[in-house]
């Protein structure tokens, strides 16, 4: 089942950074929660926590779906803090509950389509065979920050698995944005990341809140957006080939052969044109 962020979080999101300067008289209880006798966190930074401490889910969602900077203080008074340099609100570790990864929908393609909903959690099976909770805020997806810091999996993830998971989440986040620019990663890494998500070479799609974006994955790991693929089709269709070719010669576009007609053109369809990534000027 997909857990979706609550309306309370949406209405209180802005308070995470600036805070609401409420007078809070919970210093003793917060200190107990943090496991310390002294509280060095200013009370005005606890206003969001104080308003929502009855709902661990709201606190979890606030951290995991936040689109800005969230960091964790893991020594002394342990807490999550919002904003650059810890200038925003804080949420104590002890106020949060662990998440049940098995209760979330698998982050895996069905019929070469990954279907996502904003402000939702997913279960991702990494290369080590273990499943980890991921959070999608509507723009990017990554391992749920709370789980990577205080969850059951915080200590048992190898460096190789962490690196692979970061790459996979980065590749998927790029596709979610409608782009296919993976200059930081080798093509084989992109292909392996997509395979981890159940995406095989060929046409595939990423659907976010019911809106699908189409892509094409080559056997060599190169990914084309639908727009870039269609621009290549248009180029081949509009070019006049009789300057260097003859009528009847074949030209390969995305794995399919097309004969040059009497006008010097080929006719590549704008749908169903993909077989593989091969484009070449055959004779």
**Whether residue 73 is found in the same domain as residue 14:** yes
Count of structural domains, the chain: 3
Quickly state the pLDDT bin for 283 (edges 50, 70, 90): low
200 to 38, 109, 172: CA distances (angstroms)? 55, 9, 14
Q: Which two tokens stand for residue 227?
A: 């727009």
**Whether residue 32 is found in the same domain as residue 116:** no
Residue pLDDT, tens place only, 233-280: 999 999 999 999 999 999 999 999 999 999 999 999 999 999 999 999
**Whether residue 155 is found in the same domain as residue 227:** no
169 lies in a domain?
yes
Amino acid 282: pLDDT: 76
- In whole angstroms, give the CA distance from residue 60 to residue 91: 9
- In whole angstroms, give the CA distance from residue 274 to residue 112: 14
- In whole angstroms, give the CA distance from residue 41 to residue 31: 10
- Which of 70, 95, 120 is the last residue in one of the domains? 95
Q: Which two tokens stand for residue 231?
A: 């621009």
**Whether residue 120 is found in the same domain as residue 192:** yes
Three-class SS string for the chain?
A: CCCECCHHHHHHCCHHHHCCCCCCCCHHHHHHHHCCCCCCCCHHHHHHHHHHCCCHHHHHHHHHCCCCCEEEECCCCCEEEECHHHCCCEEEHHHCCCCCHHHCEECCCECCEEEECCCEEEEEECCCCCEEEEEECCCCEEECHHHHHHCCCCCCCCHHHHHHHHHHHHHHHHHHCCCCCCCCCCHHHHHHHHHHCCCCCEEEEEEECCEEEEEEECCCCCEEEHHHHHHHHHHHHHCCCCCCCCCCCEEEECCEEEECCCCCCCCCCCCCCCCCCCCECCC
124-143 exposure pattern, b = at least 16 Cβ within 10 A, e = fewer = bbbebeebbbbbbbbeebbb
**Whether residue 178 is found in the same domain as residue 256:** no
Q: Which residue has the higher pLDDT, 57 or 7?
A: 57
Report for 44-48, 85-89, 224-228, 242-246: range of highest mean pLDDT:
224-228
List the domain range (segments joined by +) for residue 159: 101-200
Question: Side by side, which strands form the sheet with 211-217?
Answer: 113-116, 202-208, 211-217, 223-225
**Whether residue 57 is found in the same domain as residue 124:** no
Average pLDDT over residues 82-104: 92
**Whether residue 194 is found in the same domain as residue 112:** yes
- In whole angstroms, give the CA distance from residue 265 to residue 196: 40
214 lies in a domain?
no
**Whether residue 18 is found in the same domain as residue 37:** yes
Amino acid 4: pLDDT: 34
**Whether residue 88 is found in the same domain as residue 105:** no
Average pLDDT over residues 228-236: 98
**Whether residue 189 is found in the same domain as residue 263:** no
**Whether residue 112 is found in the same domain as residue 172:** yes
**Residue 12 confidence (pLDDT) above 70:** no
Q: What percent of the chain has pLDDT over 70?
A: 84
Residue pLDDT, tens place only, 33-71: 444 333 456 788 999 999 999 999 999 999 999 999 999
pTM, entire model: 0.85
- Which of 95, 116, 131 is the last residue in one of the domains? 95
């Amino acid at each position: 089942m997909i857990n979706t962020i609550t309306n309370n979080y949406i209405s209180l999101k802005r308070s995470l950074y600036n805070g609401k300067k409420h007078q809070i008289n919970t210093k003793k209880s917060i200190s107990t929660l943090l496991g310390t006798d002294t509280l060095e966190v200013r009370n005005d930074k606890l206003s969001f926590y104080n308003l929502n401490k009855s709902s661990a889910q709201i606190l979890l969602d606030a951290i995991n779906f936040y689109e800005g900077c969230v960091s964790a203080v893991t020594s002394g008074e342990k807490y999550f803090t919002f904003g650059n340099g810890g200038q925003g609100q804080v949420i104590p570790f002890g106020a949060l509950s662990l998440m049940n990864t098995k209760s979330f929908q698998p982050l895996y393609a069905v019929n070469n389509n990954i279907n996502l909903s904003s402000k939702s959690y997913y279960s991702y099976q990494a290369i080590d065979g273990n499943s980890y909770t991921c959070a999608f805020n509507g723009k990017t997806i990554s391992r749920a920050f709370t789980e990577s810091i205080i969850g059951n999996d915080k200590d048992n993830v190898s460096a190789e698995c962490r690196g692979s998971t970061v790459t996979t989440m980065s590749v998927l986040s790029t596709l979610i944005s409608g782009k296919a620019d993976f200059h930081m990663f080798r093509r084989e890494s992109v292909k392996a990341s997509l395979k981890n998500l159940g995406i095989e070479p060929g046409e595939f799609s990423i659907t976010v809140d019911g809106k699908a974006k189409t892509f094409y994955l080559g056997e060599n790991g190169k990914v084309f957006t639908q727009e870039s693929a269609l621009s290549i089709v248009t180029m081949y269709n509009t070019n006049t080939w009789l300057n260097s070719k003859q009528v009847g010669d074949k030209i390969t576009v995305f794995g399919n052969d097309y004969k040059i007609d009497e006008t010097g053109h080929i006719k590549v369809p704008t749908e169903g044109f993909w077989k593989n990534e091969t484009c070449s000027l055959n004779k």
